[in-house]
Amino acid sequence: MKKLVCGILLSCAALAAPAAAAAQSPVPFAAEGRVGVAFPSGDLDRLANSGVGFGATLTVQLMPNYGLYGGYSRTEFEMEGAADARAIDSGFAVGLTAAYPWLGTRVMPWLGTGLLFHDLEVRGLSPAEGSSEIGWELGGGLAVVLAPRVRLTPGISLRTYAAPLPGRSDGRVSYATAGVGLNVAF
């Protein structure tokens, strides 16, 4: 169901935004790949160690400095006290971004916030009963222009959503990420 909702939102954005975005900007679309490390907090911190992750995002520029993004990410954590156990957080996100160039530089600070449609899969331990709820993410960083349509995007983010965890059905998956992306506009 979450994937269906995310797909519908992305499809609507993709169908509605291109004409308006093309009229406002010569570069209305961007694709980004990211890698990074994740640091669990709250309920997840009691169960897991830091992890690594990756993601891919497509952004449609709605107007100058503002965009609508949709993407997929996956982060894997090693579980504490279990040799082969791991927790895998994966799913989709949609949201809004804002970026404002610093005059006279090739650097643009950016902020983004959105909805998460993620699930936590725990491998190597007894699975928890229940389902995940829609969560949110908040992030920010810098976009450093490397070439006319290529940017390096270091940043940090916070993600959180309710999900069953081993030993409790009302857990909360929360973690911070630090990573870097390569953003290509077309």
Write the CATH number for 122.
2.40.160.20
Cα angle 10, 13, 18; round to 5: 130
Please count the structural domains in the chain: 1
Which structural domain, as residue segments, surrounds residue 16?
2-185
Q: What is the pTM of this model?
A: 0.81
Q: What gap in Å lies between CA 50 and CA 40, rounded to an integer?
A: 6
Number of CB atoms found within 10 A of residue 96's CB: 14
Q: Please give the structure tokens belonging to residue 51.
A: 């992890």
Q: Contact 61/47 with Cβ under 8 angstroms?
A: no
Residues of the chain with pLDDT > 90, as a percent, come to 62
- Give per-residue pLDDT as tens, 56-83: 999 999 998 999 999 999 999 998 877 7
- What is the per-residue pLDDT across 88-135, written as a single tens digit (0 to 9) for each? 999 999 999 999 998 889 999 999 999 999 999 888 776 666 678 899
Half-sphere exposure of 151 (CA within 13 A, CB side): 23
Indicate the Cα dihedral angle 11, 27, 34, 164, nearest 10°. -30
